[in-house]
Amino acid sequence: MLYAILGKDAPGSLETRLRVRPRHLERIQSLLDAGRVVLAGPFPVNDAPQPGPEGFSGSLIVAEFESLEAARAWVVSDPYVTEGVFESFEVRPFIKALP
């Protein structure tokens, strides 16, 4: 089943986000290589593809996992959680309707 992972960035976490991003992307790449990612990306604070020092407010990942528990376990071990980029996150079952 698909799950939507919504992470909310902690205030002032941009430097940490940029530092741990390669490890975060490596984990997502593993899911992508297995054909399990529908989409993934950050939410810029401002209306620009490169938000600069304003940074990001969070991220969204929609990916396939065996269960809700497996999706939560994946998130808990992600560098954005372990290093404090996300101050909170939620994982919700997702049904892709379009396209």
Residue 49: the pLDDT is: 83
What is the residue-averaged pLDDT of the chain? 97
Q: Which CA distances in Å does 30 have to 27, 77, 94?
A: 5, 14, 20
**How sure is the predictor about 48, in pLDDT bands with cuts at 50, 70 and 90?**
confident
Percent of the chain at pLDDT exceeding 90 = 93
Fold observed for domain 2-94: Alpha-Beta Plaits (3.30.70)
Q: Where are the domains of the chain?
A: 2-94
Contact present, 81 and 16 (Cβ < 8 Å): no
- Write down the pTM of the prediction: 0.94
Q: How many CB atoms lie within 10 A of CB 7?
A: 25
pLDDT digits (tens, 9 = 90+) for 57-82: 999 999 999 999 999 999 999 999 99
